[in-house]
Structure formats: structure tokens, C-alpha cells
Amino acid sequence: MINVLMFGPPGSGKGTQSVTLAEKYNLLHLSTGDMLRAELAANTDLGRKMAAIMASGELVPDEVVIDMIAHKIDSTTDKAGFIFDGFPRTVQQAEALQTMLEGRKMKIDMMLVLEVGDTELMDRMKKRALVSGRADDADESVINNRIAVYRAKTEPVIEYGRRAGVCHQVDGVGSIDEIFGRLCNHIETII
């Protein structure tokens, strides 16, 4: 089993790239953002509780996403591994993931960090807002907050990956196919 963390600020292309990488390498794509939006759409208790946090661009509590991920890992049998998209977003989540994987005789094999500058991110997010239907894409102050939360709380996870010797920085600017090729080159060093 291989475990790949797809990293990068909001709008860096993590979701788009994770979907095609998951297909190519038979990995389960685990997006905590998608899972939370599914809770919202199904109007569950959890969805209702998390709605305001998500609308503001802040992070939901660590335990919520850690439980979701543990449940998915334990209910998957037919895949070559996992690609984590938008998780872990804090050092605490990264530590919890590592412990969770170790308990199941796995590890974090690779962290891919998509690098995109802030001006390009804002441009992409505004374009995405026209098609995604996501409330948190539609408001410029929420987008700014999501980028600020990423820099403050999520970027430190990159240092965690560096110390673990699994961090690979990838240029996230270019065509979707070009970026996909760069990511595949990295993944193919571990399969």
C-alpha cells in the first residue's frame, strides 16, 4: 500500500490532480473537504454543526476529520493505497495520521507540495467560483481567509514532511497535463 499526501494552498489544483492520480495508480482518493460537503448536502447533524466553520474558511476540529479518515481507511480493501487531499491540514492531524497508519503497518510514503503564488491562486479561485457552486469560493474575504489559514496552520505540516524525508515540492503552474506529468514522475520513484 502506498500513501501519498497531496499538498498545496486552496486553488493549487490538489483536487483535480488527486482524481486522475488516484485513477492511474488505483489509489482511493480521500478528500476531507468532499466528505464534509457530502455531510452538509445530506443535512446530517455533523454537517449542520460544521456549516458555519466551513463557510468562514476556518478549519473544522481535528477529531472530526481524523475520525472520517480512519473510517475510510478501515473500510477499504481493494486499492493499492490512498491519496489524501486536503488532509492533514494541521500538525496534529499529521501526527494522528502517522499513528493511524503505523497501527495498520503502513506509513506516509510521499508528500507532494504544489507550489502556486498568491496572485495566481486568487485568479484560479475566482474562475472556480463560477463553476464550483461552492459558497466558500464565491466570497473574496473567505478566499483570503482560507489562504491565510493555510499559511498559518497547514504550511507547518510541510516541515513535518521534510523532517520525515518524504516531502517533494512540485511546480504547480502550467497546464493540467504538465503538472500531472511532474507529479507522476515523483510517484514513480516509490512504486
Where do contacts with ligand AMP occur on this chain (CB under 6 A)? 10, 32-33, 36, 53-54, 57-60, 65, 86-87, 89, 93, 136, 146
Shortest reach from residue 106's CB to ligand AMP, in Å: 19
Per-residue CA distances from 88 to 61, 80, 85, 155 (Å): 12, 20, 8, 10
Shortest reach from residue 149's CB to ligand AMP, in Å: 7
Shortest reach from residue 113's CB to ligand AMP, in Å: 15
- In terms of CB distance, is 11 or 81 closer to ligand AMP? 11
Contacts of 20 (CB under 8 A, 6+ apart): 180
Shortest reach from residue 93's CB to ligand AMP, in Å: 6
- In terms of CB distance, is 40 or 164 closer to ligand AMP? 40
Q: What is the DSSP string of 60-119?
A: PPHHHHHHHHHHHHHT--SSSEEEEES---SHHHHHHHHHHHHTTT----EEEEEE--HH
Residue nearest to ligand AMP (CB): 33
